[in-house]
Structure 1
Amino acid sequence: MFKWQSLYPLLLLVLGIITYFITLRYKIRTSSRSKEEILEEFFEKELEASQVVRGTLPQELFIPINTEAIPASPDVELESLYQKVLTIGKLPMVNLKEKSNRDLKKLYGINHLDTLITYEKNYDTFIDILIKYGTILNEKNYTEAAQLTLEYALDYGCDRSRPYFILAELYSKQKNTTRLTRLKVLAQTKLLTSPYLSKVLHHIDELQETCK
């Protein structure tokens, strides 16, 4: 006589497989709906931000550059680069790296978005040239001028790793542990916008050990 009990394991296996596929299909559908909802929410927020119009940009948004504080070129070969620093330093600039385009539209208005993008490009160009100027000063052994120039770059919110590396080396040679520590703290605050600064932190740790 045939015993149905012998089919129980097989029936349980089949039932388990069916349940698995039903659950999987449900999750896929739920996931798809979630993606659609997320996408819809995204476009709604973008549309909302794109309808914001603001008045004049607030003055505190701009970065005031004191070009007179930047060390003058001590070398004829660096004069043209120094003049570029001065010229670009007079342009309006902002540093809004931590804000998205949507944030900018909501805070300052869609009517100012292109202008803000231009001003941020001015800032990036200024920082790049300032770093280049300071780097060459250092290579030519104009140490004091190089240090001041690169420190100004950091004062203006620079998150590039090169000035940090150069300044760390200069402070280490000076056995200036206080400035090394300050440099490390500053680098830590910039990790969000520049993850590469983690290498700087590691390098500073090594230099601090040698300064003990």
Structure 2
Amino acid sequence: MRILLLPLIITILALVFKHNADKRDHSDQHSVRSYLNRESAANSVRRQDISNLPYIQAPIESFPFDITLNDAKKQLQIDNYKKEILSYAGKPMLNLIGVTNTELKEHYGPANLDVLSIYDQNYNQYMRYLFLYAQAIYEEYPVKSADLLTYCISTGTDISGIYELLGRYYKEKGDLTAFNKLYEVIPDTNSVSGKMILNKLDHLKEI
């Protein structure tokens, strides 16, 4: 009896697998069609005004650029970082973290895509050099470094090292309240960078 049932069971399983595969294929085809339709519509959007977007402001006068480090090698590094920071601070910058190219075209038109991408790159480089600067001065000027890191976070950056270094500062101060508030300002906890920030803060908390 068991032998007779075996072919029937195999047939049923094969039908179930085929049904599930067909559903997946249909879903994938629908997703592709939806994406292509959305892209086509986005590519038809006229150029929009981007002059009133939330451009990142660089409060250069508040940055700790007047310090001297005991370490000559690090001093040379921060001098170079300062030049880069000032260079990017003078350029248009936008934080477009989490915004896709399709969404940019839908809102502002494909004609603005390249320039918006450049503004986003400017912002990312600006944040990168601010982080490197803060990292380099941390041992000798932890408070000034923390102020710089706090500013970076206020712009919505998702550079995990910025959160990690500021979290270290709060841990060393014993300020658990400020440390925990870092979790609240992570731009997107479901993104790759957001999960990396969470992991780094969790690790710091356990130390």
Shorter chain as normaliser: what TM range?
0.7 to 0.9
Structure-2 separation of matches of 1:201 and 1:178: 13
8 Å Cα contact 2:167/2:201 also seen in 1:
no
Please say which of residues 168-177 and 102-111 is displaced more in the overlay. Answer: 168-177
Structure-1 separation of matches of 2:204 and 2:183: 7
Change (3 A) 1:24 1:200: closer
Quote the offset at 1:21 in angstroms: 4.0
Deviations 1:99-153 (A, max 9, x none): 11111110111110111111100011000000000000114x1222212211111
Moved over 6 A (4+): none
8 Å Cα contact 2:163/2:201 also seen in 1:
no
Q: How many pairs were matched up?
A: 198
Which residue of 2 is the match for residue 100 of structure 1?
100
Tell me which amino acid in the other structure corresponds to 2:98: E
Structure 1 gap ranges (5+): 1-7, 208-212
Change (3 A) 1:35 1:143: closer
Which residue of 1 is the match for residue 178 of structure 2?
179
Q: Do residues 170 (structure 1) and 169 (structure 2) align? A: yes
The TM-score with structure 1 as length reference comes to 0.80
Name which of 41, 45, 50 aligns with 2:38.
45
Structure-2 separation of matches of 1:161 and 1:116: 23
% identity of equivalent residues: 24
Alignment RMSD (CA, Å)? 2.4
The TM-score with structure 2 as length reference comes to 0.82
Tell me which amino acid in the other structure corresponds to 2:150: E
Rg larger in 1 or in 2? 1
Change (3 A) 1:31 1:147: closer
Q: How does 1:7-46 map to 2 (within 5 A)?
A: 13-22=6-15, 24-46=17-39
Change (3 A) 1:171 1:28: closer
8 Å Cα contact 2:94/2:119 also seen in 1:
yes
Which residue of 1 is the match for residue 189 of structure 2?
191
Quote the offset at 1:15 in angstroms: 4.7
Q: How does 1:97-176 map to 2 (within 5 A)?
A: 97-139=97-139, 141-176=140-175
Query: Structure with the greater relative contact order (CA < 8 A, sep ≥ 6): 1 or 2?
Result: 2
8 Å Cα contact 2:39/2:102 also seen in 1:
yes
Change (3 A) 1:67 1:19: same
Please say which of residues 10-19 and 170-179 is displaced more in the overlay. Answer: 10-19
